[in-house]
Structure 1
Amino acid sequence: MELKVGCCGFPVSMKRYFETFNVVEVQRTFYRPPEVKTAEKWRKSAPEGFEFTIKAWQVITHSPDSPTYKKAGIEFENCGFFRPTEVVFMAWEKTREIAEALKAKIIVFQTPKSFRDTVENMENMRSFFSSIEGGFTFCFEPRGWSEENVRRICEELDLIHVVDPFISKQLYGEMCYYRLHGFDYKHKYTDEELEKLLRMSRKGYVMFNNIHMLDDALRFKKLLKEKEG
C-alpha cells in the first residue's frame, strides 16, 4: 500500500483539489452529514481511483453540550460517547450511508477530551463496535487517554490508532493514519518538520488539518515524490 497525502476538508474547489490530490477526509460528515444524493454527486465528480475518507457524525462521539453541535445547528439528546441509544445508532446508519455513497473505506471516530478512558466509556465502545457491521476500516483518535488503554481498546476492537506524529506515537495499526493539526491551528510546517514527517511515515495516510494545509500538503507530496525518485 502506498502513502497517500491529502487534506481534512477541501481548502480549494473540488475540481482543483481532484486535479492535485488522490484522497480527502470529508469533514462535513462530522458536523451535519449531507444527503446521500449529494455524496453520490461528489463521488461521480471525482476521478476514478480518488479516495474519500470520512469523519463519523459527532452524534456518535460527542455529548450534546459540545460547542460543535451549536456550530452545526443541530440539537440531540441521549447521544455521544458511543452510548447504546437509538439516536447514536441512527447516527451510525447515516454515517454508513454516506460512506457507502462515497465508496469510502475508512471512517474516523474522533472523540473530545471529555471522553476519557473510563470503564463505562470503554464498555460503550465495545458495545457499539460489536453491534455495527463491518466492511470498513475504523480509525480512532482519542484525546487524553493512557497509552495502555489506547493500545488495549484498539487491539481489542481492531481500530487504527490515529495520531499527530509530532505529538504522540501510534500504538496500534497495520498502517498509519496521521492527522496533522499543527502545534496550533495557524502553524505552518517548516521544511525540516516535513522531512522529519517523511521519516516517521509508512504506508497509509498523511492528512493535513491546519490553516496552511494546502501548501503544506503540496510541499510534503513533493518531498515524497523526490524520495520515491
Structure 2
Amino acid sequence: MGIKIGCCGFPVSRKKYYGEFNVVELQNTFYDLPSIDWAENLRSEAPGDFEFTIKAWQVITHPASSPTWKKMRRKPRGDTSNYGFLKPSNENLEALRETVRVAEALKSKIIVLQTPPSLPYSRESVEWVREFFSKASDIAQGFILGWEPRGEWSKARELYDIIEEFGIVHIVDPFRATPHLGKGGVVYFRLHGIGGSEVNYRYKYTDDDLKRLHEIVSKYSVDREVYVLFNNVYMFDDAARFKRLINS
C-alpha cells in the first residue's frame, strides 16, 4: 500500500523537515505531555498532508523510578506508584485519555507505547497488561495503538496473543526482530541502530544496510502501510538517503 519515512523527533528545523518528509513521531509527548494549544498550533503550522504520530506520555509505560521522570516539568496527579508498566490503574488510564486528547488535536492516528526492559514479566503482569489494553482499546477508540516491548516482554509467548486480541500494532526494529502481523493494515518500524544490545543510537546506516532495509520493507508494503521511523544520531541523513533509495 505504501511506505512512510521519517524520524523520531525533529532533528532539524521544522521548516526544513516538512520540506523533506511527510511524517514524524513526536518525542516531546513522551517526556512532558504538551498542551492542547501547543498541539493545535503545531498542526496548523504543518502542511495539510503531513502526519504526526505520537509517543505516549511516559507515565503510562515507565514507573516513577525511571530517570526520564526527572525531566518532567508537570508531574502527574495521584499516587505515583500506580503509574507506569501499562498497569490498568485509574492514573494510567487517565494519562492515556490526556494523551488521546493531544493526538486528537494533532489529527494523529497512531499512538506509540514503548515499554522499558524493566517491565516485569510474570503471570501477574500478563494479566494486568491484558486488562490495560482491554480498557485502552475503548479509551483510544478510532486510534491505532502500537506497542514496542523491550526486555523479556519482547520475547514473551503471550505477546502475540495480546496483539491479536486487542488489534495492537507490534512495533519492532526490523534489523532486530520480525513483527507479528495482527488484524490491522499497518506495519510500524523504529530503527535504533545496528549493534549494541537493544539500541545503538550512534550507528550510521550504510548503503548496504539501507538496501537490506528496502528488501525487508518491500515484503510488507504490498498490502500494508509501512512506517519507517529512524531513531539514531544520524536519523535525518539516513532517512533522507533511504527515501531516495525507495524513490529511485
TMscore range, shorter length: over 0.9
Query: In structure 2, how many angstroms separate the alpha carbons of the residues matched to 1:147 and 1:221?
Result: 33
1:41 matched residue in structure 2: 41
1:211 matched residue in structure 2: 233
Percentage identity across paired residues of the two chains: 49
Q: Secondary structure at the match of 1:163?
A: coil
Deviation at 1:225, TM superposition (A): 0.2
Q: In the alignment, residue 117 of structure 2 is paired with which amino acid? A: K
TM-score normalised by the chain length of structure 1: 0.94
Residues 34-183 of structure 1: matches in 2 within 5 Å? Answer: 34-73=34-73, 75=75, 77=80, 78-131=82-135, 132-133=138-139, 134-144=141-151, 145=153, 146-173=155-182, 174-183=185-194
Q: Cα distance 1:98–1:75, how it changes in 2: closer, same or farther (>3 A)? A: closer
Q: Indicate if the aligned counterparts of 1:81 and 1:124 stay in contact, CA closer than 8 A.
A: no
Q: In the alignment, residue 207 of structure 1 is paired with which amino acid? A: L
Q: Cα distance 1:82–1:56, how it changes in 2: closer, same or farther (>3 A)? A: same
Q: Secondary structure at the match of 1:148?
A: coil
Q: In the alignment, residue 160 of structure 1 is paired with which amino acid? A: V
Please list every run of 5 or more consecutive structure 2 residues that lacks an aligned counterpart in the other structure.
195-199
Query: In structure 2, how many angstroms separate the alpha carbons of the residues matched to 1:99 and 1:122?
Result: 27
Deviation at 1:10, TM superposition (A): 0.3
Deviation at 1:147, TM superposition (A): 4.9
**Which runs of 4 or more aligned residues in structure 1 lie more than 6 Å from their structure 2 counterparts after TM superposition?**
none
Deviation at 1:84, TM superposition (A): 2.5
Residues 181-192 of structure 1: matches in 2 within 5 Å? Answer: 181-183=192-194, 184-192=200-208
Q: Indicate if the aligned counterparts of 1:108 and 1:139 stay in contact, CA closer than 8 A.
A: yes
Give RMSD over aligned pairs.
1.4
Query: In structure 1, how many angstroms separate the alpha carbons of the residues matched to 2:193 and 2:110?
Result: 22
Instruction: Report how many aligned residue pairs link the two structures.
Output: 226
Q: In the alignment, residue 151 of structure 1 is paired with which amino acid? A: Y
Query: In structure 2, how many angstroms separate the alpha carbons of the residues matched to 1:103 and 1:118?
Result: 36
Deviation larger for 171-180 or 68-77:
68-77
Deviation at 1:124, TM superposition (A): 1.8
Query: In structure 1, how many angstroms separate the alpha carbons of the residues matched to 2:39 and 2:213?
Result: 32
Give 1:198's match in structure 2, choosing from 214, 232, 240: 214
Deviation larger for 129-138 or 68-77:
68-77
Query: In structure 1, how many angstroms separate the alpha carbons of the residues matched to 2:206 and 2:181?
Result: 28
Q: In the alignment, residue 162 of structure 2 is paired with which amino acid? A: I
Query: In structure 2, how many angstroms separate the alpha carbons of the residues matched to 1:75 and 1:149?
Result: 32
TM-score normalised by the chain length of structure 2: 0.87
Q: Secondary structure at the match of 1:17?
A: helix
Q: In the alignment, residue 209 of structure 2 is paired with which amino acid? A: E
